[in-house]
Amino acid sequence: IKYTEKGSVTDPQSMTFSISGEEHTLGNALRYIIIQNPEVEYCGYSIPHPSEDKLNIRIQTTENTTAIDAMRKGLEDLKSLCAKISETFYKANRDFDEKNNIS
C-alpha cells in the first residue's frame, strides 16, 4: 500500500492518510482494526468522490502515540488477521476435500 500523509507537523497525533487505488473494502476493514487500538481516539475514512481512485483515512490518537504509529499497527494487525483467515479457510477446504474424497 502506498499512502501519503497529510497533517500538521506540530500535531503528530492527528493526520489524514491518502491511499491511492483503494476503496471501501480496505477503508472499512482498516478503520475497524485501527479503532480497536486503545490509543486511538478517532478513526474514520472517506472516498472523496466515486470517480476518484482514492481513500482518505483520518486518525487521531492520544498523546501516548502518533497517528503514523497507529496506522502502521493497524496495517500490521490487518495483515495478520487476513493471514489467519486465509490459513483457516485453506485448512477447512483441505479437510472437506479429504473427508469427501475430492482430489
Q: What average pLDDT score do residues 33-45 get? A: 98
Burial of 15 (0-12, 13-18, 19+ CB in 10 A): buried
Q: Is the pLDDT of residue 59 over 90?
A: yes
Measured distance CA(98)–CA(37) in Å, rounded:
40
Q: Which CATH number fits domain 3-99: 1.10.150.170, 3.40.190.10, 3.30.420.40, 3.30.1360.10?
A: 3.30.1360.10
Residue 29 has pLDDT above 70, yes or no: yes
Q: What is the pTM of this model?
A: 0.84
One-letter amino acid of 85? I
What mean pLDDT do residues 61-69 have? 96
Please give the Cα distance from 35 to 66 (Å, whole number): 14
Residue 74 buriedness (CB in 10 A; 0-12 / 13-18 / 19+): buried
